[in-house]
Chain A
């Protein structure tokens, strides 16, 4: 009798497992509906993204299925899935997009709509991915303690006048990696390494926290300037928490290298996968996301700069003014990423 109990408990377990499988295969609806659906892997986690996919479904009847994860994990998953994978890959940072392309996971897309909506510079050389939103990595300074005329370039931050005054997050962060990767491209590996060394020397404290924490550190007087992405400051200026707003209001934004190589920008971008089952609908979604109306929503929700040049950025960003951008193809950030990481380790940037 007790053997029976054991038997039953295993029957029960296999039933649960089957139910779990079964549930999955039925909730997709009938076959024709299912064929229209597109599958998307994304490393972005913004509510606005979900709203836009929903909007896309309402307009076209094409459902967007989503798995979120970190970019590298998703790339690994795509690699292992081979022919059975998602239709689209969407992630922040050109370095990651390039990595996906390098591993032969993306395919070229020819679309007049896209070439019209998105500047060439924000697009992969082979059209395997397209930038959708843009962010700049700028210097923020304390309005009372720093006169913006003291600021000029990224390179100037290694000057001894900034000793113990700079706040910047850890080298694990992809934004810092891409920043150094851009220096490798514009100057040389040697220059980039010297820059990183100089920054480590001038750090006001060991790197810790996220970009918002650097801004808070400046307000608190731990340092006088910080390097951070624009949308974080935008988020703070419009935060629910009045204290964060107060912090952000003490800070000024400075776009470095305006007379030289330009301020570092990066994108979040999307690409159609090589084995996409539903390329046609996938391209439709990309086109939809690049359209004027959608780009406006993107820009206002997350304080990113729209990739579509016809769309104006959110008011907060407009106040900061226009600026000259680094003039490199963003694929280069990906190509130089591993070198950048090695530089960080060599100069002991935590």
Chain B
């Protein structure tokens, strides 16, 4: 393995040739697939500027970029703090309901942020439950300003409470299995809990936290639902204003390209800053971190913190949605609705499975190669995640129409097959969400390092055999985690599903969106609740499987 140290590409290819071609070829193939629809976007980036572009630059870009930066900074910061602190408390301590919180705190991820945004506004606004109660019971009319959530802090709040589980899940997986020795040593040395968190947990979990936060940031930059409803102008607003308002898709794509470059730059920067620091297993014995039982006040403090976050991020919006669903249950439920549920689960499952397998292959190849090229190469998986879904949709449609035309011309089919089938949608999901599964799997691999694989290979196993005999057992959790995250993301995915689905194909997300976008939030409640329930069940199943291990 140590022979593979060269940094130049040539060397890298030579290594590939000599060693384990199936994996690498697949890996390259997958990445090319991801790149195809992005290609038109990258090409567009070099296109000439037109009059609209000048208008955008003069009137839109400055404020929009500032808003995006503020949003990303604060959401990133708060999700990092909340996600990692919760992960730490739950990994290291035992207190009431800890077992539940282990998976319960992932549940907020099941609520699509834009539904959460509508819901919280619905709770707080003039006709919401709080103000109505005050008005009708006690005749108190409040100053609207104190109850206005539709502003920058409100949007930050929404993103933080519904996205922190990305950081929580990835960091917790890392802490529970990986950090045992370091943390126990710190404990033995009598370090206080706070200091352990600050001095030990944060540095060693940095890769996991960053992986989580980068998913959060990408999700925020991509969001259009929340910022549109709350009237906050971000970079994404500029993209859609340009496309829908000015009718200039080319300039819109150019903007997406800028966003994409920015994100890639950030990720590379983080990688460089992290430099050589690596925290893979320090011993060959993987032990689970034993939680310390908390007593007295501290017990309730830990419980209170978890409960507080869980209440705000899940219970409150969920109850509100149930109330709304009860108002409109008879109108929104029908037999066809069962079909919609079936569609949703089916397509999300298939796409998430494919995504997970691809993520495993790519990250395994990247891990076992030491060249810089192979480290940066897989970062393109993030491309799809950094471009707004609607823009990906445009790339994907072009690609499939092109393919269909070819197939049609060769005479295999009598009409367009691919672009009218679900294949196109699944393909788009892969382009978009590979990063989600990849990040999870990569952090799993990072945790175990390469020593076990090296040992296995020295004993004469090839890469494939090593993978199935050794690696997969060590990172089963991370693989599952990646699958579940991708699955949930696809359940609630919007612009792609809306635009790329075949005829008469509805999912719960499109159903909820259709109502919400018509300001019929009550009717949107039932499909939203079902999305949440399906996600909750899968989160629980995932947790259960992990527990049994």
Contact = CB atoms under 8 A, between A and B. Distances in A.
Interface of A: 1-3, 5-6, 9, 13, 16-17, 20-21, 23-25, 39, 45-47, 65-74, 76-77, 80-82, 84, 99, 169-170, 172, 174, 177, 206-213, 216-217, 219-222, 232, 235, 239-241, 243-244, 246-247, 337-338, 341-342, 345-346, 348, 350
B60 interface: yes
A73 B510 CA distance: 14
A20 B240 CA distance: 32
B336 to A, nearest CB: 9
Nearest to A18: B423
A210 B393 contact: no
Contacts of A169: 231
Contacts of A76: 249, 394, 397
B144 A221 contact: yes
A262 B280 CA distance: 72
Contacts of A341: 241, 245-246
Contact of A13 (B121, B148, B357, B420): B357
B283 to A, nearest CB: 27
A350 B64 CA distance: 11
Given A73-B390, A207-B231, A220-B126, A337 B245 contact: yes
B406 interface: no
A240 B522 contact: yes
B247 A73 contact: no
Nearest to B238: A345
A172 B237 contact: yes
Contact of A350 (B231, B240, B504): B231
Contact of A216 (B127, B247, B393, B499): B127
Interface stretch (B11-19, B80-88, B257-265, B464-472): B464-472
A216 B417 contact: no
B194 interface: no
B501 to A, nearest CB: 7
Of listed A5, A23, A70, residue having the most chain B CB within 10 A: A70
Contact of B230 (A71, A84, A208, A222): A208
Contacts of A67: 499, 501-505
Interface stretch (B104-112, B293-301, B431-439, B511-519): B511-519
Contact of A172 (B22, B241, B397, B421): B241
Interface of B: 22, 55, 59-60, 121, 125-127, 131-132, 141, 144, 148, 150-151, 228-231, 233, 237, 240-241, 243-247, 249, 327-328, 331, 350, 353-354, 357, 390, 393-394, 397-398, 401, 404, 415-423, 426, 464-465, 467-469, 495, 498-499, 501-505, 510, 513-515, 517-520, 522
A2 B465 contact: yes
A17 to B, nearest CB: 6
A177 B245 contact: yes
Given A172-B228, A338-B246, A341-B246, 9 more contacts: A16-B350, A39-B503, A73-B393, A76-B394, A77-B397, A84-B404, A84-B419, A208-B230, A208-B231
A67 B404 CA distance: 19
Nearest to A342: B55
B517 A45 contact: yes
A65 B144 contact: no
Contacts of A25: 417, 421
B401 A172 contact: no
Contacts of A46: 518
Given A67-B503, A337-B247, A209 B421 contact: no
A81 B419 contact: yes
Given A16-B350, A46-B518, A67-B501, A209 B231 contact: yes
Given A209-B231, A220-B144, A66 B422 contact: no
A20 B131 CA distance: 49
Contact of B244 (A3, A20, A72): A72
Contacts of B245: 172, 177, 337-338, 341
Nearest to B469: A2
Which of A46, A84, A220, A221 has the most chain B CB within a 10 Å cutoff?
Answer: A220
A3 B22 contact: yes
Contacts of A211: 519
A17 B228 contact: no
Which of B127, B131, B151, B423 is the most central at the interface, judged by chain A CB atoms within 10 Å of its CB? B127
Given A68-B498, A73-B495, A240-B328, A80 B518 contact: no
Nearest to B505: A67
A2 B150 contact: no
Nearest to B129: A243
A333 B509 CA distance: 32
A3 B464 contact: yes
Given A72-B244, A217-B144, A5 B397 contact: no
A9 B357 contact: yes
Given A3-B22, A5-B468, A20-B421, A45 B398 contact: no
A169 B150 CA distance: 12
23 contacts: A3-B464, A6-B22, A9-B357, A16-B353, A16-B354, A47-B331, A67-B503, A71-B244, A73-B393, A74-B499, A80-B394, A80-B401, A84-B415, A99-B247, A172-B228, A208-B148, A209-B231, A217-B144, A220-B144, A241-B327, A246-B127, A247-B126, A341-B245
Contacts of A39: 503
A243 B231 contact: no
Nearest to B513: A45
Contacts of A74: 499
Contacts of B55: 342, 345
A65 B503 contact: yes
Contacts of B502: 24, 67
B397 A81 contact: yes
A140 B421 CA distance: 46
B416 A84 contact: yes
A222 B393 CA distance: 40
B126 A21 contact: no
B522 A241 contact: yes
A211 B112 CA distance: 22
A304 to B, nearest CB: 12
Contacts of A66: 503-504
B503 A13 contact: no
